[in-house]
Each structure stands twice: as C-alpha cells, then as structure tokens.
Amino acid sequence: MGLITLILLLGLETFFLLWSIFTKRNHSQEKSVIRIAVLILFGIFLITGILEWGFRYDLILLVLMIQAIVGIVILVRKIERDYRFKKTIFRFVKNCIVFSLALFIAILCPQYKQPQVTGNLKVATAKYTWVDQNRIETFSKKKENRALTVEFWYPKTKKANETYPLVVFSHGAFGFSGSNHSTFEELASHGYVVASIGHTYHAFYTLDTSGKLTIVNTDFLNSVYAINAMDDVKQAQEIFDTEQKWMKLRTDDENFVLDTILSKTKGSKKANSMFSLINPEKIGLFGHSLGGASAAELGRERTDIDAVIDLDGTMLGEETGVKKDGKAILIDTPYPVPLLNIYAEDHYTNAKKLVGDDYDNFVATKNARCADYVVIKNAGHLNFTDLPLFSPILAKKLGVGTVDARYCIDTTNKIVLQFFNGYLKDKGTPNLKKEYSF
C-alpha cells in the first residue's frame, strides 16, 4: 500500500504541474481544497483499516497535515500565488522528494497479515529491563553494568494453580528481540511463557523500558563481516577466538536472564503475576543463527534445561579449539538434552559439501542422547524469522531463499511447537519429517 500511495500522490503532483503549466496559473486555492480532501481521505483509510495505523504512515500523515493546514490558511486569506514556471517546477520536485522520503518506511516495510495463531489462549505481553550487577558493559566507556531488555509473550488468563513451560529465545547477529514475533505468539497461545532477550549492542537495536535506544555496535558489526571474509584454514584460530568471545557474551546474557526469571518465580505470590505462570521445572531454549548456537551451548552448561532448538545456526559451543589443518576440535561427550536443528536447505547442503560429517551440528546430533533435524527446501537463513514478511525488500538483500515466506515461517512455528510439546509438555516424541517443501 505504501508504493500505491506514493504513486497516487506523485500522480496528483504531476496533474498539478501540468495544470499550472498549461493554464499559466498557480491555482493555489483549488490545490488547497484538494490537499484538504486528500488528508480527509487518508484519515478515512486509516480509520477503516484500509491503511494500517502505525509507524509506516506517521511521516506521510504529518506531511499531509502540514499541507492541509497551509491550504486552510490560503483559503481563509484568499491567497492566490503568482504563476512562475521555475517555482512551479521546484515545488513539484520538492513535493515528490518529500512524499518519497515520507513513504520510504511504508515501502520498505509494507503492510502484511500476521500469521494466525492456532492456540486457544489469548496472548499478553510484558517488557522488563534488568541490570546485571556482576558484569561491566564492555561496549560502553561509561563503566556501567550490562543491562538487558527482555520481552515476554504469555497466556493472558489461566486456570487455578496452572503453570506453563518457560521458553527463552536468543536472536541472531543484528537481529532483535521481536525477530520471531509470530513464533512467540504461537507458543504463548498454546500455553507457554516466552522470554525473548535483546542482546544489547549485538542486536540491531534495543529499546529499554525507560525509552533508551541502543543500536548495534559497529565493532561487532565489522567483526562479523570480517569473519565471513577470512580464510577458514589460515585464520582458523582467529575465527575461533572471535566466535568464542561472542558466545561468552551471549551465554552470560542468557544465564543472567534465566536466573533472574527463576528467582522471580520463587518470589511470585500474587495470582495475577506473570512469573507465577511459569513452571520452573520445564524450560526450553531456542534461537536463530548465533542465538541458536548460544542456546545450544547453554543446553550443555545448565542442568535445568529440558529441550533446545537451533534455528539455522552453527553450534559453535561444540568447538573447544582448532587443529593445525583448521578443522575444529569438538566436544566428544553426548549432547545431554533433546536437541532439534532446523536447517535452511543451502545451510545443510553446503555443510555436507564443504565440511561433511565433521560439521559441528552433525557430530552433536549423531552423538546426542536424543536429537533430530529437519531441512526446509529452498529456504534461506532469514526465512526462519518474520523479516521476509515484515520487509521483503530488506530480507531479500540480507539472505532468503525462494521458498514462500509465509509457508516457511508457518512451518517453522509448527515444528517448534511440536518439538516443545513433545519434551516440555510430555506429549511424546514429535513426528517430524526430514524435509519440508512448498
């Protein structure tokens, strides 16, 4: 709708331009009436839901309001500007640029229909910012403690004494806490409390409960691009050291958040407290990309984790060092809890081709006490987030496959729910296919 709106507004400006040129008049009052009418029509579209009220149209609404106010002044004062060709051209170009900039977000992030939840429970949300008093923020020069903002999705109502499994999510590099909003909604609608961590300075952005905005750290951003460009053999040790540094930050974050949540479940006496909904005996972890890797590592470190899902991430926590030939030295003890790897087709096939059976995830899956994997055909790395729905243009630039975006995230959400139902709600071993295709 953003692009259609822009085309209509540019068409209107073109009409104004040609009208003025052919009649040698500015038509100030007539244009003012039309601009007021455009604002009213735009408002009707927002109220009726034809256009979705929200951040996409905030700027263009402001622009149309300013033009309408100017138009009212012109009509009240009966102003008629003199026609001048250069000014007419300038005004046309200026308005076209302003409209394009104001609708940029709406075009980049077009309206889309949210995936429908399949559970019967209504979903509520909450947001907390917690400060880890035991860690200093290494990305900041202020010598402040590291703060993490955590978003929750949970069942809005419950039966007396009913509790739900806790599932903690970790986003990928440059992701954010809402990257898998549809997955969180789906889980919560089926009776889960989902906590999604915004890894400060690793996330594209975090917005804490006080309104403080923190964007991704440029050094971290550059290190990710640098790692991807390095020679896997010649610079294997440098790659390993950098990736383990990332993993340490992530797992420390997740440990802190988990411990904080669990401490609050013990102290929650009020029946309407969100933390009173949590069953501390049933905990799952999942994450995308780097977040999937850290979730998998935490599954090894903690004894209170019951199931782990890795969404298209390399299990870097399985590595303990590198050999002279650049190959990773992997942990040889069995993975201790039920594990599921969900792969994009290119990830799975490239790992098979370039690394073979020695790939971190393959070895962990083979040696695990209970593990499975699925491959979604024609999927790309970011198809396991909501980004392809939220911003198809941006997702295509960053990496998606040819799979239908809605099918892929719906399928992913279904698989995630099935797996956690099996191991966090004791519904038996999930019946998963090895390959899913649209």
CATH 3.40.50.1820 is right for the domain spanning 123-436: yes
Report the pLDDT averaged over residues 182-208: 96
d(CA 218, CA 174): 11
- Chain center to CA of 386: 6
Q: What is the pLDDT of residues 102-128, one digit of tens each?
A: 999 889 888 888 889 999 999 999 999
Between the CA atoms of 155, 157, 160 and 163, what dihedral angle is there, to the nearest 10 degrees?
A: 10
| Three-class DSSP category at 43 | helix
Q: Does residue 27 have a pLDDT over 80? A: yes
Q: State the amino acid at position 257 in one-letter form.
A: V
Q: Does residue 360 have a pLDDT over 60? A: yes
236-266 and 290-301 helices cross at what angle (nearest 10)? 60
Which of 254, 198, 261, 191 lies closest to 417 in space, CA to CA? 191
Q: What is the pLDDT of residues 54-69, one digit of tens each?
A: 888 999 999 999 999 9
Weakest mean pLDDT among 37-51, 303-317, 371-385 = 37-51
- Kindly indicate the confidence band of residue 81, based on its pLDDT and cuts at 50, 70 and 90: confident
Which of 150, 420, 155, 166 lies closest to 283 in space, CA to CA? 166
Residue ranges in 198-281 assigned as alpha helix (H): 218-229, 236-266
- Select the more confidently predicted residue: 326 or 150: 150
Q: Does residue 268 have a pLDDT over 60? A: no
Q: What is the pLDDT of residues 415-438, one digit of tens each?
A: 999 999 999 999 988 999 999 988
Q: Which two tokens stand for residue 407?
A: 């099918």
Q: How many C-beta neighbours within 10 Å does residue 359 have?
A: 21
Which of 247, 242, 241 lies closest to 321 in space, CA to CA? 241
Q: Does residue 270 have a pLDDT over 60? A: no
Q: Which two tokens stand for residue 170?
A: 């970790």
- Select the more confidently predicted residue: 276 or 307: 307
* Strands lying side by side in the sheet with 339-344: 123-136, 145-155, 193-198, 164-170, 278-288, 307-311, 339-344, 371-376, 435-436
How many H-runs (helices) and E-runs (strands) does the chain carry?
14, 13
Q: Counting every residue, how long is the chain? A: 438
Cβ-Cβ contacts under 8 Å for 113 (sequence gap 6 or more): none
Torsion sign over Cα 394, 397, 400, 404: positive
Ramachandran angles phi, psi of 399, nearest 5°: 130, 90
d(CA 407, CA 321): 38
Sequence ranges of the domains in the chain:
2-108, 123-436
User: Which CA distances in Å does 314 have to 80, 215, 247, 288, 425?
Assistant: 67, 25, 11, 10, 27
Q: How many C-beta neighbours within 10 Å does residue 22 have?
A: 8
d(CA 227, CA 361): 19
Q: Which helix (H) or strand (E) holds 286?
A: strand 278-288
Q: Does residue 181 have a pLDDT over 90? A: yes
- Select the more confidently predicted residue: 70 or 55: 70
Q: Does residue 269 have a pLDDT over 60? A: no
* pLDDT value of position 344: 96
* pLDDT value of position 271: 54
Q: How many C-beta neighbours within 10 Å does residue 152 have?
A: 22
d(CA 356, CA 142): 46
* pLDDT value of position 272: 58
Average pLDDT, the chain: 92
* pLDDT value of position 158: 75
Q: Does residue 231 have a pLDDT over 80? A: no
* pLDDT value of position 267: 64
Q: Is 396 exposed, middle or buried (0-12, 13-18, 19+ CB in 10 A)?
A: middle
Weakest mean pLDDT among 197-201, 288-292, 352-356 = 352-356
Q: Does residue 17 have a pLDDT over 60? A: yes
d(CA 98, CA 70): 16
User: Which CA distances in Å does 152 have to 50, 104, 142, 379?
Assistant: 30, 30, 29, 28
Report the pLDDT averaged over residues 225-247: 86
